[in-house]
């Protein structure tokens, strides 16, 4: 059973008023009945079900410093958020710093609506930690109290029912970034980083991700952001958010919390759950995406384990049956497209339903006949293979479309890719193991790992040929502005 809301906290609500400076102010719920149920019993049941659906989450092997949560209507994003909040059950956290971006009121800097404020929901009231609120406000003249910024804002309010359920005695520090520019991010991250926390204090960043694209269009943006989180690469994440390669409506709050968490020793981010509104509605044509994640400082044992095994991680784990099924999907997709103008749908399970990046290569009499793929996990692996197989057959600009008569003469090869990893030193690149991708300006080029093996290239030749593929000078990989990535691939073909 979850802890019940403390009666004392609810009674304190009766003291709330809008009077003199020494009195407690009640911040009334702004989105009860819209973003979440206005009835206390219905809301409690929803939140409990979300938490129970998570079950027992995997333990975080280290010190938890921050959480990342979504903030849409709880019917859409609540189940994702519950994966973060489930980690707090049976913990000793009692001070939560909530950080979000302002959606309904524009202002410069940061607003902390906390000293002498009670935040009300249908489940009761949550008090604010006056000491932490005042320390944030005192840190910078860009941090102030703007009640109007919070009066209709939902991004922090929708977190409260989960907090009330898992940590009913916790107090909060409600913090909003106005215009989420670099100056505001720095102000908040510096303030959070400067304030000394005890091990009972936790930061929470509230943000949704891409908005109103189809799930297929939105996943490439989200996958880049998720990859940055997994690698704790804040510089790359900030660049992607700035140039819109990644979308997050609470990007300023997210960056500020992550930078402050890093200053406090965090070095790992674990993705707990990813999903979108289409998972609930069934309509994937226009969705909003959500991520739940834990930000923590890893124990020394985990650091040593990850460091020692980093170069020995298999490129991808797929059973013989799964590989055979993907090859069947590739061939049947081409057949279906050539016969009926449309690839069939496929019933799959396990990893084949998970997002995956892959290339499909077609050969005829030992010669290349088409090759198309994705370097990012844009869609479930089976859909990636189906789509790329058809595109390799009919849309590779180097070749005329495959005809039905020649289909039986084609050999199909599939390369399932690991996520791209930035190359920090050319010595990291191992010919035969790694594929390469280069970005420079608007040019990009990719070569699969087996290509270097087939041609017997040295590392330098492989780099030069990757540049040629991008239609760049052969030494473009030496350019200071060039971005070079490596990846591995599980390669298999028809026998």
Write the pLDDT tens digit of every residue in 208-221: 999 999 987 888 78
The CATH class for the domain spanning 7-307 reads: alpha beta
Q: Strand, helix or coil at 74?
A: helix
Closest to 136 measured CA to CA, from 183, 187, 170: 187
Evaluate if residue 66 carries a pLDDT over 60. yes
Compute the distance between CA of residue 70 and CA of residue 159 in angstroms, rounded to an integer: 9
CB atoms within 10 A of CB 440: 18
Is the pLDDT score of 19 beyond 70? Answer: no
Percent of the chain exceeding pLDDT 90 equals 74
Coil, strand or helix: which one is 274? Answer: strand
Helices (H), 199-309: 215-230, 234-242, 251-263, 278-281, 300-309
421-492 homologous superfamily: Hypothetical protein ph0010; domain 2 (3.30.1490.150)
Q: How confident is the model at residue 302 (pLDDT cuts 50, 70, 90)?
A: low
* Residue 223 near residue 376 (C-beta atoms within 8 A): yes
Provide the 8-state DSSP code for 371. Answer: E
Q: What is the mean pLDDT of residues 442-470?
A: 92
The pLDDT value given to residue 13: 35
Report d(CA 338, CA 344) in Å as an integer: 11
H-state helical runs in 39-99? 40-54, 74-85
CATH 3.30.1490.150 placement within the chain: 421-492
Q: Report which of 482, 445, 488 is spatially closest to residue 466, judged by C-alpha positions.
A: 445
| 8 pLDDT above the threshold of 50 | no
Q: What is the mean pLDDT of residues 36-47?
A: 98
Q: Pull the structure tokens for residue 7.
A: 């009666």
Q: Cite the beta strand spans of 62-200 per DSSP E.
A: 62-69, 95-101, 110-112, 117-121, 124-127, 143-144, 171-177
CA 8 to chain CA centroid, Å, is 38
User: In this structure, what token pair is assigned to residue 380?
Assistant: 């479930």
Q: What is the chain's alpha carbon radius of gyration, rounded to the nearest angstrom?
A: 26
Q: Provide the 10 A C-beta neighbour count for residue 387.
A: 20
**CATH number listed for the domain at residues 320-417:** 3.30.700.20
Flag whether pLDDT at 4 surpasses 60.
no
Alpha-carbon distance 154 to 103, whole Å? 8
Q: Where are the alpha helices (DSSP H) in 315-423?
A: 320-340, 381-394
> How confident is the model at residue 420, as a pLDDT?
83
* Mean pLDDT of all residues belonging to the chain: 90
Which part of the chain is CATH 3.40.830.10? 7-307
Question: What integer pLDDT is reported at residue 146 of this predicted model?
Answer: 96
Q: For CATH 3.30.700.20, list the domain ranges present in the chain.
A: 320-417
What digits encode the pLDDT tens for the residues 227-252? 889 889 999 899 889 988 899 999 99
Residues 6+ apart with CB under 8 A from 92: 199, 200
Question: Would you give the distance in Å from CA 477 to the centre of its chain?
Answer: 29
What stretch of H or E contains 356? strand 355-364
Per-residue CA distances from 192 to 178, 189, 236, 255 (Å) = 16, 5, 21, 12
């Amino acid at each position: 059973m979850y802890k019940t809301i403390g009666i004392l906290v609810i009674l304190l609500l009766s003291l709330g008023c809008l009077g003199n400076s020494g009195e407690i102010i009640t911040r009334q719920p702004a989105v009860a009945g819209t973003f979440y149920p206005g009835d206390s019993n219905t809301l409690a049941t929803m939140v409990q079900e979300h938490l129970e659906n998570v079950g027992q989450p995997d333990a975080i092997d280290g010190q938890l410093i921050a959480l990342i949560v979504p903030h849409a209507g709880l019917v859409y994003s609540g189940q994702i958020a519950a994966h973060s909040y489930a980690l707090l059950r049976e913990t000793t956290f009692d001070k939560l710093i909530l950080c979000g971006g302002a959606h309904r009121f524009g202002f410069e800097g940061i607003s902390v609506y906390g000293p002498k404020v009670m935040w009300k929901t249908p489940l009761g009231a949550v008090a604010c930690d006056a000491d932490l609120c005042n320390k944030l406000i005192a840190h910078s003249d860009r941090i102030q109290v703007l009640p109007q910024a919070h009066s209709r804002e939902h991004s922090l309010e929708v977190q409260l029912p989960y907090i009330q359920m898992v940590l009913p005695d916790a107090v909060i520090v409600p913090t909003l970034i106005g215009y989420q520019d670099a100056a505001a991010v720095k102000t908040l991250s510096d303030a959070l980083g400067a304030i000394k926390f005890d091990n009972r204090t936790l930061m929470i960043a509230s943000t949704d991700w891409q908005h109103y694209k189809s799930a297929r269009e939105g996943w490439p943006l989200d996958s880049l952001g998720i990859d940055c989180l997994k690698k704790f690469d804040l510089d790359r994440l900030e660049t992607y958010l700035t140039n819109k390669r990644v979308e997050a409506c609470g990007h300023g709050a997210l960056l500020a919390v992550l930078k402050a968490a890093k200053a406090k020793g965090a070095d790992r981010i674990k993705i707990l759950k990813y999903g979108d509104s289409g998972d609930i509605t069934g309509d994937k044509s226009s969705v909003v995406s959500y991520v739940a994640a834990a930000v923590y400082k890893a124990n020394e044992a985990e650091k040593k384990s990850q460091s020692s095994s980093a170069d020995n991680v298999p490129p991808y784990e797929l059973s013989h049956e799964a590989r055979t099924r993907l090859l069947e999907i590739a061939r049947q997709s081409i057949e279906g497209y050539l016969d009926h103008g449309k690839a069939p749908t496929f019933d799959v399970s396990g990893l084949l339903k998970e997002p995956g990046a892959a290339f499909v290569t077609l050969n005829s009499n030992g010669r290349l006949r088409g090759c198309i793929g994705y370097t990012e996990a844009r869609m479930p692996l089976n859909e990636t293979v189906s789509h790329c197989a058809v595109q390799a057959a009919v849309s590779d600009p180097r070749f005329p479309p495959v005809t039905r008569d020649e289909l039986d003469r084609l050999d199909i090869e599939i390369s399932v890719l690991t996520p791209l990893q930035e190359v920090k030193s050319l010595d990291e690149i191992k010919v035969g193991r790694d594929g390469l991708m280069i970005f420079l300006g608007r040019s990009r080029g990719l070569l699969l790992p087996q290509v270097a093996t087939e041609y017997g290239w040295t590392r330098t030749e492989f780099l030069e040929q990757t540049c040629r593929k991008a239609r760049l000078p052969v030494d473009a990989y030496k350019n200071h502005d060039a971005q070079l990535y490596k990846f591995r691939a599980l390669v298999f073909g028809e026998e």
